Structures are given as structure tokens and as C-alpha cells.
């Protein structure tokens, strides 16, 4: 599983050289989904909610291995505030299963909502996690491609994972870092503007 760890741009060079350090609670990261809005959710959240000063960030992408386990995977309030949390996911296989179960749970929740609102006189589908996952698995039995379509849907993935996080047990060495993601289109515009200004300066200098 690939993950992204967001950090201020000023930390990027140090991390590329020394790796991602482990804080008191672990290494905080997010599963890489391939959807820009989902993968950058934490940057937008921290910059808009006032929890931290607004900063331009880079995403450090790396592959999670067995050496990083055990891990926590859940809502951010469980591991960020003063709530007690345990890293109960023992291995990569279990982490992948948790990722899939979360998608199934949200899918089943949506199916239950549609069933309950399609016919008000029909017995209501209970709001129990296991029932949600059972509904999702039944739907997959008749439409095996449903799960893939769910992962390809930006709205569905944003709704499913918008405030989730993974907390790993150990630091990430620099040789495990695969690439760096810019914060967003704003970063690209800044680079283009700098290039344009540089070309204008060079042209003006040559004309002088």
C-alpha cells in the first residue's frame, strides 16, 4: 500500500535526506488513492480550519511495509486528540483488509439508505456495521465491478476517507521514499509564473 505524509515545504529537503521521523505517537500518513482532492484532504483541512498556521506543504510518498507495523487506521479524532488509541492492525494484509472493509461499510451504508427511502412501508435496514458490509458483499455478488467503480469515484472516495489516517509505529527511512507531491495547482502556477518572469527578465536584459 502506498501512503502520503504531508509536511511543510521547508522540511522536504531534510526528509529526503534523513527519512520521515516518528513523533511520540507514530508516523501519520494517508493511503494514496490516486484522487488529488482525496489525497490532499489533510492539507486543505489544516489550512482552512485554523488548527495550524497556513503553510504550503509537500506530500512525501512511500510504500508501507511490514517493518512499519503495527498500525492504527481510523478517524483522526481517535489518534490526534487526547483520545486513547491502540495500533491494533498487526500486518500489511490486515491493513489492506481494513481499507477494503471501510469502503464496503460506506457502500453498504449507501445501499441501506436507498433501500430505506425507496419504500417507506418496507422494513427498515438496521444501521449495524456488519449488516452494511453484508449488503455491500451481496451487491458485489451480482455486480463484481462495483468495487472498482467505487474506488474510481472521487465523490465516493472523498466521502469514505476524508478524515481517516494511518499511524505507523516506526520512522520511514529515506531510501523508501518514492516521490514528492506538490500541494496542488497553486504550486504549479507559482513555478510557471517564476519561469515567465525569468524569461521576461532575460529578454529585457538582452534588449538592453
pLDDT tens-digit readout, 175-189: 999 999 987 654 444
- Written as nine digits, the cell of 176 is 523508501
pLDDT range class, residue 191, cuts 50, 70, 90: very low
Tens of pLDDT, residues 14-68: 999 999 999 888 999 999 998 988 888 888 877 777 666 677 889 999 999 999 9
* This prediction's pTM: 0.77
Report the range out of 85-94, 110-119, 122-131 with the highest average pLDDT: 85-94
Amino acid at each position: 500500500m502506498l501512503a502520503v505524509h504531508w509536511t511543510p515545504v521547508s522540511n522536504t529537503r531534510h526528509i529526503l535526506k534523513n527519512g520521515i521521523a516518528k513523533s511520540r505517537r507514530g508516523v501519520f500518513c494517508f493511503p494514496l488513492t490516486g484522487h488529488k482532492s482525496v489525497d490532499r484532504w489533510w492539507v486543505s483541512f489544516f489550512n482552512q480550519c485554523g488548527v495550524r498556521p497556513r503553510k504550503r506543504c509537500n506530500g512525501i510518498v512511500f510504500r508501507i511495509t511490514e517493518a512499519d507495523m503495527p498500525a492504527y487506521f481510523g478517524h483522526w479524532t481517535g489518534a490526534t486528540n487526547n483520545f486513547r488509541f491502540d495500533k491494533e492492525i498487526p500486518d500489511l494484509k490486515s491493513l489492506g483488509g481494513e481499507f477494503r472493509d471501510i469502503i464496503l461499510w460506506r457502500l453498504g451504508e449507501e445501499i441501506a439508505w436507498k433501500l430505506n427511502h425507496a419504500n417507506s412501508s418496507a422494513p427498515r435496514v438496521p444501521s449495524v456495521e456488519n449488516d452494511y458490509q453484508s449488503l455491500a458483499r451481496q451487491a458485489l455478488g451480482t455486480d463484481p465491478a462495483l468495487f472498482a467503480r467505487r474506488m474510481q469515484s472521487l465523490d465516493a472516495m472523498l466521502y469514505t476517507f476524508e478524515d481517516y489516517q494511518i499511524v505507523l509505529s516506526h520512522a520511514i527511512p529515506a531510501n523508501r521514499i518514492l516521490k514528492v507531491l506538490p500541494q496542488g495547482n497553486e504550486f504549479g502556477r507559482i513555478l510557471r509564473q517564476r519561469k515567465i518572469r525569468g524569461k521576461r527578465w532575460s529578454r529585457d536584459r538582452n534588449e538592453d
